[in-house]
């Protein structure tokens, strides 16, 4: 259980007592993401999602419970304010998507938000995962260094060119992922093979 001073980072991320917390089961628009309203006019849905979460927690005690960390080291948790689930509130208000890749818990709330055309559902919104994938800086392998050092929920793992998941693994050096020239180099740096 985590509680304490809260700072809103974006529409699905908080900082509580210095620890980053990713709200379980939702995916809010990226901070700079824009959506369109019913008339096709662009609006700053990412900024508005951040403001919506800030409005929900402002001056209130937030309690979070979770055990897993995401690949960025954030605690993935369900968080509540006065017994109200923040993830459910954000999806119900049309300020976040139900993150079906990890959970189906908020699909009903999303359906109600769509039917009422609230928030992102008033017009059109690109899925935040697609926005992130399009903006993600992927770097080519340095010459003769084709081993991919990936950070995932399983920790720091490396992939060899013949590994099953090699082709779909993307390396983002901005998040600490990297390339290795040899397996020995990867192991010496504290990474383990994906098959271990």
Catalytic sites, residue numbers: 22, 30, 74
Q: Are 28 and 94 in contact (CB under 8 A)?
A: no
CA pair distance 39, 123, nearest whole angstrom = 7
Please check whether residue 196 is in contact with residue 189, taking contact to mean a CB–CB distance below 8 angstroms: no
Q: How many CB atoms lie within 10 A of CB 10?
A: 20
- Nearest Cα to 180, choosing from 167, 168, 193? 193
Rounded to whole angstroms, the Cα distance separating 144 from 138 reads 17
The residue whose two tokens read 């824009």 is 34
Between CA 63 and CA 82 the distance in angstroms is 9
**What six digits make up the tokens of 32?**
């700079």
Which residue is listed with tokens 């192991």?
187
The upper half-sphere exposure of residue 54, i.e. CA atoms within 13 Å in the direction of its Cβ, equals: 10
């Amino acid at each position: 259980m985590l509680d304490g001073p809260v700072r809103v980072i974006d529409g699905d991320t908080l900082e509580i007592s210095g620890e980053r917390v990713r709200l379980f089961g939702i995916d809010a628009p990226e901070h700079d993401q824009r959506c369109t309203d019913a008339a096709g006019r662009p609006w700053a849905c990412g900024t508005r999602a951040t403001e919506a979460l800030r409005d929900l927690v402002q001056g209130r005690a937030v309690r979070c419970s979770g055990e897993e960390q995401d690949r960025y080291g954030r605690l993935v948790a369900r968080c509540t304010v006065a017994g109200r689930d923040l993830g459910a509130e954000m999806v119900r208000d049309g300020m976040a998507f139900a993150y079906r890749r990890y959970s189906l818990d908020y699909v009903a709330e999303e359906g109600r938000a769509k039917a009422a055309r609230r928030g992102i559902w008033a017009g059109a919104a690109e899925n935040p995962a697609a926005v992130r994938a399009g903006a993600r800086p992927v770097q080519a392998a340095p010459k003769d260094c084709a081993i991919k050092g990936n950070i995932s929920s399983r920790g720091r793992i490396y992939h060899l060119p013949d590994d099953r998941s090699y082709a779909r693994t993307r390396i983002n050096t901005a998040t600490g992922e990297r390339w290795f020239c040899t397996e020995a180099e990867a192991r010496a740096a504290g990474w383990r093979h994906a098959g271990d």
